[in-house]
Amino acid sequence: MKKFIYVLLLCLALLLVATPLLADRPAPTGGRIDVLFGTPDTYPAGTPFYLQHGWADESPTDAPPGLFDFQLEMDGVYQSHDFYSVLANRGSLTITWLFNYPAGMSGVHTFTGHWFAPCQYAVELGMYPGPCPSPNMPVEAYTQSLTVTFTP
DSSP string over 75-108: TTEEPPPSEEEEEEETTEEEEEEEEEETT---EE
Give pLDDT, residue 91. 73
pLDDT digits (tens, 9 = 90+) for 96-107: 999 999 999 999
**Does pTM top 0.85 for this prediction?**
no
φ/ψ of residue 83, rounded to 5: -160, 145
Give pLDDT, residue 59. 63
pLDDT digits (tens, 9 = 90+) for 107-132: 999 999 999 999 999 999 999 999 99
pLDDT digits (tens, 9 = 90+) for 60-69: 566 777 889 9
**How many CA atoms within 13 Å lie on the side-chain side of 21?**
10
Q: Say which residues have a Cβ less than 8 Å from residue 89's Cβ, sequence separation at least 6.
A: none
From edge to edge, which strands make up the β-sheet containing 77-78? 42-44, 138-151, 107-118, 69-74, 77-78
Quote the CA–CA distance of 36 and 15 in Å, as a whole number: 13
> Domain 2-151 - what CATH class?
mainly beta
Q: What is the mean pLDDT of residues 13-40?
A: 74
For 34, which DSSP code? B
Give pLDDT, residue 26. 82
Query: Does residue 149 register a pLDDT over 90?
Result: yes
What residues does each domain of the chain span? 2-151
What percent of the chain is predicted at pLDDT more than 90? Answer: 67
